[in-house]
């Protein structure tokens, strides 16, 4: 049995500013293509994207991702690093 817990992940780290304003389309694509590869819940994308334009109100993607405890996993498998 593998021990796991839910971890909240927020993208981008800063939700406002010129850098965050340009990430709207990137976060939409991340939600569509990358997140489905993981076990997630409570996915929340706050975005008002207009193609090829900055989104001055910023963008936020937040989700809970199921992660394992790597230290416990390594100890149980006998890995020594």
Q: Where are the domains of the chain?
A: 4-76
Q: pLDDT digits over 12-44, tens only?
A: 756 566 666 677 888 888 899 999 999 999 999
Q: Give pLDDT, residue 1.
A: 78
**Structural contact between residues 31 and 45, judged by C-beta atoms closer than 8 angstroms:** yes
**Structural contact between residues 80 and 53, judged by C-beta atoms closer than 8 angstroms:** no
49-55 long-range Cβ contacts below 8 angstroms, 24+ apart: 49/24, 49/25, 51/25, 54/18, 54/21, 54/22, 54/24, 55/21, 55/22, 55/24
Q: pLDDT digits over 50-78, tens only?
A: 777 777 767 788 999 999 987 665 566 66
Q: Taking the model in full, what pTM does it have?
A: 0.67
At residue 67, φ and ψ (nearest 5 deg) are -125, 150
């Amino acid at each position: 049995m593998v021990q796991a817990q839910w971890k909240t992940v927020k993208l981008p780290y800063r939700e406002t500013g010129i850098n965050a304003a340009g990430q709207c389309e990137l976060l939409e694509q991340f939600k569509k293509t990358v997140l489905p590869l993981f076990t997630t819940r409570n996915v929340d994308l706050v975005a008002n994207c207009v193609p090829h334009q900055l989104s001055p109100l910023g963008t936020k993607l937040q989700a809970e991702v199921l992660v394992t405890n790597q230290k416990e996993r390594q100890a149980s498998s006998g890995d020594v690093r």
